[in-house]
Amino acid sequence: MTGVHTLLARNMKRYRQALGLSQAALAEKINCSTTFIGNIEIEKRFPSSYNLDRIAEALGVRPAHLFADGDDSEMPARLEDRRRRKEQLEKDVIQAISKAFGEDD
């Protein structure tokens, strides 16, 4: 049986990486330090319920998903879709800015 600290650390990192977020990007989304995120992921710290809610919201999952005991195959497919949409949006924005400034690819 895996402990809650380990489950949280493992799942938080999986969801964060599935979204293409760095520890710094996640920290910025929830207004905390990168060190705090890193310490959770290496099981040195355990967040309050308030911070758990903020982390789950930033990752687009329910808090319970952060404690699920499963493998990578159980990660919701919508996270991968969300990551792809984010990447496409970033490309579209860069193209629009380039076009607006007359800088064609």
In this structure, is residue 24 part of a structural domain? yes
Say whether 25 sits in a helix, a strand or coil.
helix
In this structure, is residue 84 part of a structural domain? yes
> Which ranges in the chain belong to alpha helices (H)?
4-18, 23-30, 34-41, 49-59, 77-100
CATH of the domain at 80: 1.10.260.40
Structure confidence at residue 46 (pLDDT) = 96
In this structure, is residue 50 part of a structural domain? yes
Half-sphere exposure of 71 (CA within 13 A, CB side): 1
Q: Which of 30, 88, 83 is nearest to 75 (CA)?
A: 83
Range of the domain at 26: 4-100
In this structure, is residue 74 part of a structural domain? yes
Residue-wise pLDDT for 11-43, tens only, equals 999 999 988 899 999 999 999 999 999 999 999
In this structure, is residue 82 part of a structural domain? yes
In this structure, is residue 105 part of a structural domain? no
Tokens coding 21: 């977020």
In this structure, is residue 15 part of a structural domain? yes
Tally the domains of the chain: 1
Q: With cut-offs at 50, 70 and 90, classify the pLDDT of residue 73.
A: very low
